């Protein structure tokens, strides 16, 4: 039976690629999408999710708006990274429709009380901290919680030490990680140590276009701004696509490797949003996270392309040359 999954996101260019990937997989049933403010303000994130569902021919999937601001901090969007429309200034056609009466937290609670369901969280953890506050039992029913966020040894991407999703709402991340500790469960932390290795290069993009003109043109359109941003910010020719790795890891954990550890969140001061990973067990506290430290970019891109282009992995014969031994940036 297909695994039921809810995707929580803040689309966002890489969130959109992650949604495209998840919606192309036969192994999971995406039963709903919840939006959190992050890269884009909440209404823009909601509109962008519709645009992606429209592109994928999946307007049957419900979308729910969640938190429109972080729990305690002032909201700071990431439109400098994702463009003024949150989708790389692609200015795609607006998609009408969709009922917005039920809120994300209410939808999550309703579904989680019905039976097994996992979550792939691609934005700040605000909706999940609120779920813990409002309906702990529902949160505890989450089968697997895979979260793109945090970093262990790699530097931050919005401060020297913090990754954006956890920096944006550190109180929410703190509540979720602390709750995992209290319940003896583990959140699966897909942080910058691994996502930085997932670089969509101009060659890979050209390859995608050669294999599928429509999909290639769409990806080029929404990533152009992201390519430019990475050039000016990191002097990188290509763009780091963080969020799809969380989907790939959910689908096949063998794409990444890591270790269990206790993780604490810093909520204030210059280290705001930092994930303190107690890799050497100084604190002897329960391991509330599985922290990913290694990934296989070739395996990732094989899965990504096979899914979004509906190809057999074996037919992607050029991929190995295009990835080579590149490990992204560190």
Name the residues that contact Ca ion, by CB under 5 A: 10, 12, 15, 122-123, 243
Closest residue by beta carbon to ligand BDR: 164
- Are 303 and 25 within 8 A, CB to CB? no
Q: Is 303 helix (H, G, I), strand (E, B) or coil?
A: helix
* DSSP code for 317: T
The helix (H) or strand (E) run that includes residue 114 is helix 104-114
**Chain centroid offset of residue 27 CA:** 18
Kindly tell me which of 75 and 183 has the beta carbon lying closer to ligand BDR: 75
Q: Which of 20, 33, 52, 122 binds ligand BDR (CB under 6 A)?
A: 122
Taking the complex as a whole, how short is the minimal distance between the CB of residue 12 and ligand BDR, in angstroms?
Answer: 4
- Indicate which of ligand BDR, Ca ion, none lies near residue 157 (CB less than 5 to 8 Å, by partner kind): ligand BDR
Question: Quick check: 78 binds ligand BDR (CB under 6 A)?
Answer: yes
Question: Quick check: 148 binds ligand BDR (CB under 6 A)?
Answer: yes
Question: Quick check: 165 binds ligand BDR (CB under 6 A)?
Answer: yes
Residue carrying the six token digits 């708006």 = 65
Q: Which of 7, 8, 14, 161 binds ligand BDR (CB under 6 A)?
A: 14
What would the DSSP string read from start to end of 166-211? HHHSHHHHHHHHHHHHHHT--EEEE-HHHHTT-EE-HHHHHHHHHH
Question: Quick check: 242 binds ligand BDR (CB under 6 A)?
Answer: yes
Taking the complex as a whole, how short is the minimal distance between the CB of residue 204 and ligand BDR, in angstroms?
Answer: 19
Quick one: tokens of 221?
Answer: 């359109």
Kindly tell me which of 78 and 306 has the beta carbon lying closer to ligand BDR: 78
Question: Quick check: 163 binds ligand BDR (CB under 6 A)?
Answer: yes
Quick one: tokens of 298?
Answer: 């070739």
- What's the rounded Cα separation, in Å, for the pair 269 and 249? 32
Site for ligand BDR in 190-229 (CB under 6 A): none
Kindly tell me which of 74 and 325 has the beta carbon lying closer to ligand BDR: 74
Question: Quick check: 243 binds ligand BDR (CB under 6 A)?
Answer: yes
Question: Quick check: 39 binds ligand BDR (CB under 6 A)?
Answer: yes
Give the C-alpha distances (Å, rounded to integers) separating 313 from 36, 69, 71, 316.
Answer: 33, 41, 42, 6
- Indicate which of ligand BDR, Ca ion, none lies near residue 163 (CB less than 5 to 8 Å, by partner kind): ligand BDR
Site for ligand BDR in 258-297 (CB under 6 A): none
- Indicate which of ligand BDR, Ca ion, none lies near residue 78 (CB less than 5 to 8 Å, by partner kind): ligand BDR
Please enumerate in sequence order all residues whose Cβ is within 8 A of that of 37, keeping only pairs 6 or more positions apart, or say none.
10, 45, 66, 67, 68, 69, 70, 75, 77, 123, 124, 126
- Are 132 and 179 within 8 A, CB to CB? yes
Instruction: Please classify residue 280 by burial: count the beta carbons closer than 10 Å to its beta carbon, then call 0-12 exposed, 13-18 middle and 19+ buried.
Output: exposed
Judged by CB under 6 A, which stretch of 156-164, 215-223, 258-266, 295-303 contacts ligand BDR?
156-164
Taking the complex as a whole, how short is the minimal distance between the CB of residue 146 and Ca ion, in angstroms?
Answer: 13
Taking the complex as a whole, how short is the minimal distance between the CB of residue 5 and ligand BDR, in angstroms?
Answer: 17
- What's the rounded Cα separation, in Å, for the pair 297 and 305? 12
Q: What angle do CA 156, 160, 162 make, to 5 degrees?
A: 45
Question: Quick check: 126 binds ligand BDR (CB under 6 A)?
Answer: no
Q: How many residues bind ligand BDR (CB under 6 A)?
A: 15
Residues that bind ligand BDR (CB under 6 A): 12, 14-15, 39, 78, 81, 122-123, 148, 157, 163-165, 242-243
């Amino acid at each position: 039976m297909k695994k039921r999954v809810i995707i929580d996101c803040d689309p966002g260019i890489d969130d959109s690629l992650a949604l495209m990937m998840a919606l192309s997989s036969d192994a999971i049933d995406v039963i709903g999408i919840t939006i959190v403010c992050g890269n884009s303000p909440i209404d823009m994130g909601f509109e962008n999710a519709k645009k992606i569902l429209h592109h994928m021919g999946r307007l049957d999937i419900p979308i729910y708006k969640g938190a429109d601001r972080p729990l305690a901090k002032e909201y700071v969007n990431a439109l400098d990274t994702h463009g003024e429309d949150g989708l790389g200034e692609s200015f795609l056609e607006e998609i009408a429709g969709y009922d917005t009466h039920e809120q994300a937290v209410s939808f999550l609670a309703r579904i989680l009380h019905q039976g097994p369901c996992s979550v792939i969280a691609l934005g700040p953890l605000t909706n999940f901290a609120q779920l813990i506050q409002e309906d702990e039992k529902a949160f505890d029913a989450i089968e697997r919680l895979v979260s793109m966020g945090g970093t262990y040894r790699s530097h931050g991407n919005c401060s020297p030490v913090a990754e954006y999703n956890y920096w944006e709402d550190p109180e929410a991340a703190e509540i979720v990680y602390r709750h995992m500790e209290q319940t003896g469960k583990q959140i699966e932390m897909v942080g910058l140590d691994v996502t930085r290795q997932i670089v969509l290069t101009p060659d890979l993009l050209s390859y995608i276009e050669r294999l599928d003109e429509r999909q290639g043109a769409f990806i080029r359109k929404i990533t152009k701004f992201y390519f430019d941003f990475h050039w000016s910010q990191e002097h990188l020719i290509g763009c780091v696509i963080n969020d799809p790795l969380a989907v790939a890891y959910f689908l096949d954990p063998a794409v990444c490797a890591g270790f269990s550890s206790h993780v604490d969140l810093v909520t204030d001061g210059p280290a705001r949003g930092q994930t303190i990973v107690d890799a050497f067990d100084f604190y002897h506290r329960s391991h509330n996270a599985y922290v990913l430290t290694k990934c296989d970019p070739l395996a990732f891109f094989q899965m990504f392309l096979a899914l979004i282009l509906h190809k057999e992995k074996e037919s992607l014969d050029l991929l190995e040359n295009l990835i080579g031994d590149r490990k992204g940036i560190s």
